[in-house]
């Protein structure tokens, strides 16, 4: 209240009188923890009981809540009320509060400045803590109604300063929030207490960014706690120190000198004008605005006066028209800048307000002991005239210190995995997850040799089982993400017989034991109903796998019939029988007359001629009729054609087809080239969903991917479908010259990390996966693992000519 007294003292020095008397004042002490009725009662008593002087104006009160009670009363009795601290936007209504004025900028500007600050840092969400007051609720209302499209408030929390408690649990509310920006819209004392509670709950630091609308009191914290305040931000108006922006420097210095001379405790007087608080500057200009209006109204001898009554509500300020006219037309350069009130629908102060973003940074004290103390540094400036934030280039050390003590990268507004511990589940699926179990004895096999070479060239990741290590694409991905995102992890390996749908369901449970699942798990519509997925880290397709030599073990006594289909064989035999009957008819009469032979012998002669003609061989039996001979000639020609075709087809079957798959793609399976019972499908998987939905409900059921290879090799099935990357890796490394991946890829799928529904850290994970893709890290992992080949180039050359595009 010192600047309040300074303004009155300065007015008396300038001999600004009302009715020939010096301007006097009364300061009413109020308790901010009470509602506005206490202030209203004090003002009422003062108006009624004051006998020497009239009450001609009110400066204050100390909160927006109290102003809501006093402003209607001031309007009722025609008394001007000028506030230096009540910034709530609801008070802008000129119809409801025609005698209300203020020298502090409205919260409308504060809200705009904060929203533009979020845009400046590319933030779109926040959690909001408000004081249990008109000021707090007014700020929340402004953001919800005016800026809902620009700023999403994920969680909101109310702090009651009277009981020093929140209306919900602070830690739980902020930890479940999908934003890590915390906006505190509360007064000075409440903001300090809120930060103290956050410090006690260990919520200050790397995971949260705190923004307050009032500065906090560092002295309220213990010395060892103060350095933990680094990185807190405050958005408040500030007053320039230049006449170019409307500051009356002469009036500033004069008011400051009076303050210094009047103060009984020189230690409480700031050393410089720039150290004077905003409230003090706004208080001086509020008093000075009333003094200026009173001074001008007394020039015409129309000084306002209070007509008192036994009850304060019946009192009324007389001769106030000219007083209010001058107050409405107020325009002067004050200690806080140019003071002029709006005349359109509000009495807010106009002319460019300025807001600063102040950052708590630790500085070394000049005591030769190297002690550090937190201080506020202005790092950004917002101007009402430009509506944009700019760097405070005129400030020393205008860099920003973030809560994690980084000075370069702007943190995101989403929850981050930094410092978290993840429970990760994987399943054996080379080349994505290659499991090595040291408890299993080594065997001299291709599999063992491949595993040994992988272990010698790669760095494994440990799991919860000390005997089990994992390698592969997923292991490298986990390691890279952990390095970038600074999280720790534990890895569990699922049983190989676990179905993929069952695997996904483990994350969908409420009491889940795992946070994420990483393997070759494709995003499907059915799975997305139960769980969420990260941004895909690998694109794949389905392909068909079969034996490399499908006919080598199926040659039988009847393989000679393979060059022709059964309908062709039936037609051939039908021709033989038909031609034999014709020959019998032609030769029957002649043979019976000449040779007196039996009917049976005649039939035998016809069949022999028909068969030998088809086979292009000669018989010793002579035909006597011209018709029979022509028939035999036609059969002989047909026989030559059939034998040529049969020979070509049989040669192709025995030679070329021995090194190729008899299945060329998914269309062959759809068209029934193989019996459905000979097609192996791994159940409880995306492949089984596709097969049942698009091909057939009949198939040979497989319980795991490993069973695909064993059932192909023991000839239980002839073909199977699975992810192309896994099949190609198996064929190129484990099943040389035994299995082959055939046809082109079909049904594109995306492999992604399985996440719980509405997981807090989804965005952080997505951002880093996309960053890995942009830096070509994922492409490097794919080259290392997808192109790994143990089989010789000659043994896998058969794979290349049937691969097609993928």
- pLDDT (tens digit per residue) in 579-614: 777 766 666 656 554 454 555 555 665 566 555 555
Residues with Cβ within 8 Å of residue 768, at least 6 apart in sequence = 481, 484, 485
For residue 470, whether the previous peptide bond is cis, meaning omega lies within 30 degrees of 0, is: no
Distance CA 424, CA 470 (A): 12
Give me the helix-helix angle, 626-654 and 599-614, nearest 10°: 50
Which pLDDT score, from 0 to 100, does residue 371 have?
A: 78
Flag whether pLDDT at 324 surpasses 70: yes
Examine residue 546 and state whether it is found in any structural domain, yes or no: no
Residues 231 and 359 in one domain: yes
Which pLDDT score, from 0 to 100, does residue 456 have?
A: 59
Examine residue 552 and state whether it is found in any structural domain, yes or no: no
Determine contact, residues 84/59, Cβ cutoff 8 Å: yes
Lowest mean per-residue pLDDT among 87-96, 301-310, 761-770, 779-788? 301-310
For residue 431, whether the previous peptide bond is cis, meaning omega lies within 30 degrees of 0, is: yes
Residues 362 and 317 in one domain: no
User: 635 is in which domain, residue-wise?
Assistant: 559-658
Residues 114 and 221 in one domain: yes
* φ, ψ (nearest 5 deg) of residue 387: 60, 30
Examine residue 410 and state whether it is found in any structural domain, yes or no: no
Residues 736 and 588 in one domain: no
Beta bridge partners of 543: 722
Residues with Cβ within 8 Å of residue 698, at least 6 apart in sequence = 676, 677
Which pLDDT score, from 0 to 100, does residue 802 have?
A: 40
Which pLDDT score, from 0 to 100, does residue 194 have?
A: 98
Distance CA 373, CA 223 (A): 8
DSSP state of 218: G
Hey, how many other C-beta atoms are within 10 angstroms of the C-beta on 571? 13
Average pLDDT over residues 535-555: 80
Please give the full DSSP string across 117-159, using - where no structure is assigned.
HHHHTT--EEEEEEESSHHHHHHHHHHHHHSTTT-EEEEEEEE
* φ, ψ (nearest 5 deg) of residue 118: -60, -40
Residue-wise pLDDT for 690-703, tens only, equals 999 999 999 999 99
Residue 677's CATH number:
3.40.190.10
Residue indicated by tokens 């000219």: 322
Structural domains of the chain, count = 5
Biggest CA–CA distance in the chain, Å, is: 169
Encoded tokens for 408 = 């370069």
Q: Which is more confidently placed, 52 or 664?
A: 664
DSSP state of 465: S
Average pLDDT over residues 405-421: 84
Average pLDDT over residues 389-413: 75
Beta bridge partners of 234: 212, 358
Hey, how many other C-beta atoms are within 10 angstroms of the C-beta on 461? 21
Residue-wise pLDDT for 248-306, tens only, equals 888 988 988 888 887 766 667 777 777 788 899 999 999 999 999 998 888 777 788 88
User: Which runs of E-coded beta strand occur in 283-433?
Assistant: 305-307, 316-318, 331-334, 337-340, 354-364, 372-383, 388-391, 421-426
Query: How, if at all, do strands 434-437 and 421-426 pair?
Result: unpaired
Residues 671 and 798 in one domain: yes
Distance CA 745, CA 748 (A): 8
Residue 316's CATH number:
3.40.50.2300
Q: What is the mean pLDDT of the chain?
A: 85
Which pLDDT score, from 0 to 100, does residue 638 have?
A: 75
DSSP state of 550: T
Residues 202 and 59 in one domain: no
Lowest mean per-residue pLDDT among 201-205, 411-415, 441-445? 441-445
Average pLDDT over residues 763-778: 96
DSSP state of 754: E
Domain boundary residue, one of 351, 379, 399: 351
Q: Is 549 exposed, middle or buried (0-12, 13-18, 19+ CB in 10 A)?
A: middle
Cα dihedral sign, 120-122-125-128: negative
Domain boundary residue, one of 605, 627, 658: 658
Examine residue 50 and state whether it is found in any structural domain, yes or no: yes
* 767: nearest Cα among 412, 264, 420: 412
| H helix or E strand, kind and range, residue 583 | helix 566-595
Residues 386 and 466 in one domain: no
Average pLDDT over residues 200-209: 89
Flag whether pLDDT at 61 surpasses 70: yes
Determine contact, residues 162/35, Cβ cutoff 8 Å: no
What percent of the chain is modeled with pLDDT above 90?
A: 54
Residues 163 and 250 in one domain: no
Residue-wise pLDDT for 328-346, tens only, equals 999 999 999 899 998 777 7
**The model's pTM:** 0.79
Flag whether pLDDT at 477 surpasses 90: yes
Examine residue 405 and state whether it is found in any structural domain, yes or no: no
* 602: nearest Cα among 620, 625, 585: 585
The dihedral over CA atoms of 729, 734, 735, 736, expressed in degrees to the nearest 10, equals: 90
Which pLDDT score, from 0 to 100, does residue 18 have?
A: 82
Encoded tokens for 135 = 């000021």
Q: Which is more confidently placed, 789 or 388?
A: 388
Examine residue 406 and state whether it is found in any structural domain, yes or no: no
Determine contact, residues 359/376, Cβ cutoff 8 Å: yes
Give the Cα-Cα-Cα angle 73, 74, 77 (nearest 5 degrees).
85
Residues with Cβ within 8 Å of residue 376, at least 6 apart in sequence = 215, 234, 358, 359, 360, 361
Flag whether pLDDT at 395 surpasses 60: no
Residues 634 and 724 in one domain: no
* φ, ψ (nearest 5 deg) of residue 722: -160, -175
Residues 345 and 371 in one domain: no
Q: Is 632 exposed, middle or buried (0-12, 13-18, 19+ CB in 10 A)?
A: buried
Residues 735 and 791 in one domain: yes
Domain boundary residue, one of 639, 658, 677: 658
Flag whether pLDDT at 34 surpasses 70: no
User: Which runs of E-coded beta strand occur in 224-280?
Assistant: 233-237
Which pLDDT score, from 0 to 100, does residue 442 have?
A: 56
Cα dihedral sign, 343-346-348-351: negative
Q: Which is more confidently placed, 195 or 447?
A: 195
Give the Cα-Cα-Cα angle 547, 552, 557 (nearest 5 degrees).
135
Lowest mean per-residue pLDDT among 121-135, 421-435, 564-578? 564-578
Top mean pLDDT of 38-47, 161-170, 617-626 is at: 161-170
* 621: nearest Cα among 635, 632, 637: 632
Examine residue 415 and state whether it is found in any structural domain, yes or no: no
Q: Which is more confidently placed, 137 or 411?
A: 137
Flag whether pLDDT at 144 surpasses 90: yes
What's the pLDDT band for 718 if we cut at 50, 70, 90?
A: very high
Q: How far is CA 468 from CA 428, 513, 695, in A?
A: 11, 19, 39
Residues 579 and 651 in one domain: yes
Encoded tokens for 139 = 């700020």
Encoded tokens for 655 = 């030679």
Flag whether pLDDT at 662 surpasses 70: no
Flag whether pLDDT at 797 surpasses 50: no
Distance CA 695, CA 672 (A): 10
Examine residue 527 and state whether it is found in any structural domain, yes or no: yes
H helix intervals, 14-104: 36-49, 64-77
């Amino acid at each position: 209240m010192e600047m309040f007294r300074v303004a009155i003292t300065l007015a008396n020095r300038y001999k600004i009188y009302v009715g020939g008397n010096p301007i006097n004042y009364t300061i009413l002490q109020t308790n901010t923890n009470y509602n506005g009725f206490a202030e209203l009662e004090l003002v009422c008593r003062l108006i009624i009981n004051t006998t020497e002087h009239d009450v001609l104006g009110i400066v204050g009160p100390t909160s927006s809540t109290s102003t809501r009670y006093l402003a209607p009363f001031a309007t009722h009795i025609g008394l001007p009320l000028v506030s230096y601290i009540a910034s709530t936007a609801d008070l802008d209504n000129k119809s409801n509060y025609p005698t209300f004025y203020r020298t502090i900028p409205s919260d409308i500007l504060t809200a705009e400045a904060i929203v533009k600050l979020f845009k400046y840092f590319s933030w779109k969400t926040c959690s909001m803590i408000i004081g249990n007051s008109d000021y707090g609720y007014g700020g929340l209302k402004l953001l919800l109604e005016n800026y809902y499209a620009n700023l999403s408030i994920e969680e909101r929390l109310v702090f009651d300063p009277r009981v020093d408690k929140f209306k919900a649990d602070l830690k739980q509310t902020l930890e479940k929030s999908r934003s890590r920006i915390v906006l505190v819209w509360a007064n000075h004392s409440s903001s300090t207490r809120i930060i103290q509670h956050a410090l006690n709950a260990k919520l200050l630091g790397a995971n949260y960014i705190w923004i307050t609308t009032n500065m906090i009191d560092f002295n309220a914290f213990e010395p060892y706690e103060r350095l933990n305040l680094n990185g807190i931000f405050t958005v408040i108006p500030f007053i320039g120190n230049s006449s170019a922006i409307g500051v009356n420097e002469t009036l500033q210095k004069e008011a400051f000198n009076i303050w210094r001379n009047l103060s009984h405790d020189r230690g409480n007087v700031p050393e410089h004008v720039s150290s004077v608080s905003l409230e003090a500057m706004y208080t001086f200009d509020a008093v000075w605005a009333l003094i200026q209006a009173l001074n001008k109204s007394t020039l015409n001898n129309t000084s306002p006066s209070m007509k008192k009554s036994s009850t304060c509500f019946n009192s009324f300020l007389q001769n106030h028209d000219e007083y209010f006219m001058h107050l409405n037309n107020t325009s002067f350069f004050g200690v806080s800048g140019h003071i002029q009130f709006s005349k359109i629908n509000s009495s807010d102060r106009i002319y460019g307000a300025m807001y600063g973003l102040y950052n708590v940074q630790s500085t070394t004290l000049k005591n030769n002991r190297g002690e550090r103390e937190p201080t506020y540094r202005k790092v950004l400036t917002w101007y009402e005239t430009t509506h944009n934030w700019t760097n405070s280039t005129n400030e020393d050390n205008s860099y920003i210190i973030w809560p994690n003590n980084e000075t370069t990268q702007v943190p995101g507004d989403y929850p981050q995995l930094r410092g978290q511990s993840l429970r990760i589940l994987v399943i054996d699926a080379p080349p994505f997850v290659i499991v090595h179990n040291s408890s299993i004895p080594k065997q001299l096999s291709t599999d063992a040799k491949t595993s040994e070479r992988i272990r010698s060239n790669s760095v494994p990741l440990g799991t919860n089982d000390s005997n089990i290590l994992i390698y592969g694409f997923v292991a490298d991905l986990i390691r890279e993400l952990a390095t970038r995102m600074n999280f720790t992890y534990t890895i569990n390996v699922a049983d190989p017989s676990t179905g993929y749908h069952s695997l996904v369901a483990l994350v969908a449970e409420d009491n889940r034991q795992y946070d994420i699942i990483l393997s070759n798990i494709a995003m499907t519509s059915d799975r997305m109903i139960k769980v969420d997925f990260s941004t895909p880290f690998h694109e794949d397709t389905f392909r068909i796998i079969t034996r490399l030599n499908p006919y080598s073990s199926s040659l039988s006594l009847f393989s000679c019939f393979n060059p022709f289909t059964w309908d062709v064989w039936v037609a051939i035999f039908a021709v033989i029988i038909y031609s034999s009957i014709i020959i019998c008819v032609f030769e029957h009469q002649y043979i019976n007359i000449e040779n007196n032979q039996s009917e049976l012998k005649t039939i035998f002669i016809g069949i022999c001629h028909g068969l030998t003609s088809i086979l292009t061989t000669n018989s010793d039996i002579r035909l006597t009729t011209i018709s029979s001979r022509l028939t035999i000639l036609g059969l002989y020609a047909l026989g030559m054609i059939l034998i040529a075709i049969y020979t070509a087809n049989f040669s192709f079957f025995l030679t070329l087809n021995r090194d190729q798959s008899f299945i060329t793609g998914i269309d062959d399976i759809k068209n029934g080239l193989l019996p459905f019972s000979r097609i192996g499908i791994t159940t409880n998987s995306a492949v089984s969903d596709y097969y049942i939905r698009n091909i057939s409900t009949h198939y040979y059921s497989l319980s795991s991917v490993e069973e695909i290879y064993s059932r192909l090799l023991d000839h239980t099935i002839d073909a199977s479908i699975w992810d192309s990357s896994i099949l190609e890796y198996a064929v190129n490394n484990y099943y040389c010259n035994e299995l082959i991946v055939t046809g082109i890829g079909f049904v594109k799928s995306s492999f992604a990390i399985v996440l719980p529904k509405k997981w807090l850290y989804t965005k952080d994970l997505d951002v880093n996966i996309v960053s890995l893709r942009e830096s070509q890290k994922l492409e490097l992992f794919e080259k290392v693992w997808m192109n790994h080949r143990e089989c010789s180039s000659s043994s896998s050359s058969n794979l290349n000519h049937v691969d097609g595009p993928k």
